[in-house]
Amino acid sequence: MTLNERQQQNEALRSEFLRRSGVDVSKCYQCGKCSAGCPVGDHMDIPTNKIMRLVQMGLIDEAMQSSAIWLCASCVTCTTRCPKGVDVAHVMETLRQMAKDHNCVAEKNIDKFHTVWMNILHKMGRMYEPGLIVGRNMVTGNIFQDTSFGVPYLAHRKLKLMPYKSNNIDEIKRMIEKAEAMDREEGGAR
Amino acid sequence: MDYAYFPGCSLESTGIEFHMSAKAVTKALGINLIEIPDWNCCGASSAHTRGHWISLALPARNMAIAEAAKLDVAIPCAACYARSKQVEVEVSQSAETRAKIEEIIGRPYKGESKARNLTDILYRDLGVDKIAAKVVRPLDGLNVLTYYGCLMTRPPELACDDVEDPVSLDEIMKALGANVLQWGFKTECCGGSLTACRPKVGLDMTQKILDAAIKAGADCIVTACPMCHSNLDMRQAQLAKHDHNYHMPVFFITEMIGLALGMKQKDLGVDRHFIATEEVMCKLEEYEQEQIQKMMNEGGEA
């Protein structure tokens, strides 16, 4: 497939990306500073500046399917140092949100971790760490991940065993549902 | 000095030392923290991967409760601070955002109540001179590295310190008498939640920071983020399996202040760390003894 054809195929995704991110990626002149300062760069399949280039070229599908956008730790070093003031971290974030909505998540376990987190928030209104670890291990199938820390955590009196459930959990639930509905509406992908 | 207080979820469990020491130290320094009743999770580090409005709504509710009481919010956790600051900035800059947020949370929030990082309150509002004046057990002779991580200093519009060369932790540590070493990893990312959801990548990031700290010859690292503390302190055992042994104590800034103010380790939560802190305590004691000896000798000669 020619570049032209690929760009045409990506037209809807490209306008969705522009609408959702609000970032003017045309300002990027490919200096590579974002990749140079990226603490996760060593592990990425596509370096940050190349993700920027893909987005500039309108090849959103390729960027969206990368594992790089999920390995991004949201440390925001790229945005902070961009000489053109491009919010690179927000580009990565928008691509993550779109990958989720378009069902093309390359790093399933990272995504599942976030899902477990959000499910706990729905139920309790606060994070419950034992629930997060157990929940993550169930959905990822890595049953024993970090379980060796359980006993030391208890010994160091660092684990809150009983979850806190908000007195106003209905208010918090309503709020979360409303916000998520608004995100879906504006995402417009599902 | 009255502030609403938002501890956040980590400070109730894995970062409980930060909670304990923050409360003890602020009380001793005359800062009054009033915990936000029935606060909710700010959403870090997951809500922002899901959507814009959910990432703003969660911290907005806490901020709105504080605004109703006409108080700024003191936030020890760097991640909670960044998420809360984000909604404060966005709401105060855009009437449209404000209207949407108020609709979602069902409470008024104008962005008048400010999100404040606790370290920044200690450094800027209280000032290092006032901290130094209360020091009874100086941390003289202790070689420390300050570690800010990501979320106190980035992005620039939310930062409570310089983005590339923050100094608040350095200045507080100097006021306590410690010797602050220099290194290039002050604002490097520790891996955040990647250690939990993509361990190979996350641990590699944590390891780089610990290696640099050892190379710099530090006795300990001082931080103000429960995520950084958890990664740097707890994950050393895991790294030891892969590589050589690590033994680098990691303290919260408020623990260090508490120790210098003469507070007991167990009241600050220092005894709860994964990496034992005895060596640091011994070093402080030895130095104190040396100084006393020196003074006595000098007195004898005179």
A165-171 average pLDDT score = 90
Reported as a single tens digit per residue, the pLDDT across A13-30 is 999 999 999 999 999 999
Is any Cβ of chain A less than 8 angstroms from the Cβ of B184?
A: no
Reported as a single tens digit per residue, the pLDDT across B253-269 is 999 999 999 999 999 99
Q: How far apart are CA B112 and CA B102, in angstroms?
A: 14
Q: Please report residues of B whose CB lies closer than 8 A to that of A43.
A: 200-201, 204
Chain B residues 47-76 with a CB less than 8 Å from chain A: 47-54, 56-58, 61
Is any Cβ of chain A less than 8 angstroms from the Cβ of B155?
A: yes
Confidence of residue A190 (pLDDT cuts 50, 70, 90): very low
Q: How far does the CA of residue A110 sit from the closest CA of chain B (Å)?
A: 5
Query: Could you tell me the domains of chain B?
Result: 2-119 (1.20.1050.140), 135-291 (3.40.50.11810)
Confidence of residue A149 (pLDDT cuts 50, 70, 90): confident
- Other C-beta atoms lying within 10 Å of the C-beta of residue A45: 13
Q: How far apart are CA B79 and CA B76, in angstroms?
A: 9
Is any Cβ of chain A less than 8 angstroms from the Cβ of B201?
A: yes
Helix (H, G, I), strand (E, B) or coil at B180: strand
Search chain A and give the residue with CA nearest B55. Answer: A179
Q: CB distance B196–A136 less than 8 Å?
A: yes
Asked whether the predicted pLDDT for residue A189 surpasses 60, the reply is no
Q: Please report residues of A whose CB lies closer than 8 A to that of B104.
A: 175, 178-179, 182
Q: Please report residues of B whose CB lies closer than 8 A to that of A107.
A: 198
A73-83 average pLDDT score = 97
Q: How far does the CA of residue B41 sit from the closest CA of chain A (Å)?
A: 5
Select from A73, A114, A157 the Cβ nearest to the Cβ of B46: A114
Reported as a single tens digit per residue, the pLDDT across B220-247 is 999 999 999 999 999 999 898 766 789 9
- The pLDDT score that the predictor gives to residue B240 is 83
Domain residue limits, chain A: 3-101, 108-187
B118-130 average pLDDT score = 98
User: Who has greater pLDDT, B35 or A129?
Assistant: B35
Q: Identify whether the C-beta of residue B78 lies closer than 8 Å to the C-beta of residue B117.
A: yes
Is any Cβ of chain A less than 8 angstroms from the Cβ of B198?
A: yes
Q: Burial level of B270, CB count in 10 A (0-12/13-18/19+)?
A: buried
Range list of H helices, chain B = 16-28, 47-50, 52-68, 78-93, 95-105, 118-120, 128-133, 168-175, 194-197, 199-215, 226-234, 236-242, 253-260, 265-268, 278-301
Asked whether the predicted pLDDT for residue B217 surpasses 60, the reply is yes
Select from B155, B188, B201 the Cβ nearest to the Cβ of A71: B201
Q: How far does the CA of residue B275 sit from the closest CA of chain A (Å)?
A: 10
Q: CB distance B189–A75 less than 8 Å?
A: yes
Paired tokens of B256: 């260090």
Which candidate in A19, A20, A64, A76 is best for mutational testing of the B interface (most B CBs within 10 A)?
A76
Q: How far apart are CA A116 and CA A137, in angstroms?
A: 10
- The pLDDT score that the predictor gives to residue B302 is 58
Which candidate in A72, A80, A136, A142 is best for mutational testing of the B interface (most B CBs within 10 A)?
A80
Q: How far apart are CA B164 and CA A81, in angstroms?
A: 9
B201-226 average pLDDT score = 97
Reported as a single tens digit per residue, the pLDDT across B140-175 is 999 999 999 999 999 999 999 999 999 999 999 999
Is any Cβ of chain A less than 8 angstroms from the Cβ of B234?
A: yes
Count Cα atoms within 13 angstroms, Cβ side, for A59: 16
Asked whether the predicted pLDDT for residue A51 surpasses 70, the reply is yes
Q: Please report residues of B whose CB lies closer than 8 A to that of A185.
A: none
Is any Cβ of chain A less than 8 angstroms from the Cβ of B262?
A: no
A71-99 average pLDDT score = 97
Chain B residues 110-139 with a CB less than 8 Å from chain A: none
Q: CB distance B189–A40 less than 8 Å?
A: yes
ipTM over 0.85: yes
Q: How many CB pairs under 8 A join A and B?
A: 165
Q: Identify whether the C-beta of residue A51 lies closer than 8 Å to the C-beta of residue A63.
A: yes
Q: How far does the CA of residue A48 sit from the closest CA of chain B (Å)?
A: 16
Q: CB distance A114–B150 less than 8 Å?
A: no
B194-207 average pLDDT score = 95
B44-72 average pLDDT score = 95
Q: How far does the CA of residue B124 sit from the closest CA of chain A (Å)?
A: 23
Search chain B and give the residue with CA nearest A176. Answer: B54
- The pLDDT score that the predictor gives to residue A65 is 98
Q: CB distance A129–B14 less than 8 Å?
A: yes
Eight-class DSSP state of A157? T
Q: CB distance B272–A117 less than 8 Å?
A: no
Reported as a single tens digit per residue, the pLDDT across B84-110 is 999 999 999 999 999 999 999 999 999
Q: CB distance B196–A40 less than 8 Å?
A: no
B260-280 average pLDDT score = 95
Instruction: Check residue B43 and give left, alpha or beta (phi > 0: left; psi -120 to 50: alpha).
Output: left
Confidence of residue A152 (pLDDT cuts 50, 70, 90): confident
Nearest-5° angle of CA A166, CA A171, CA A174?
125
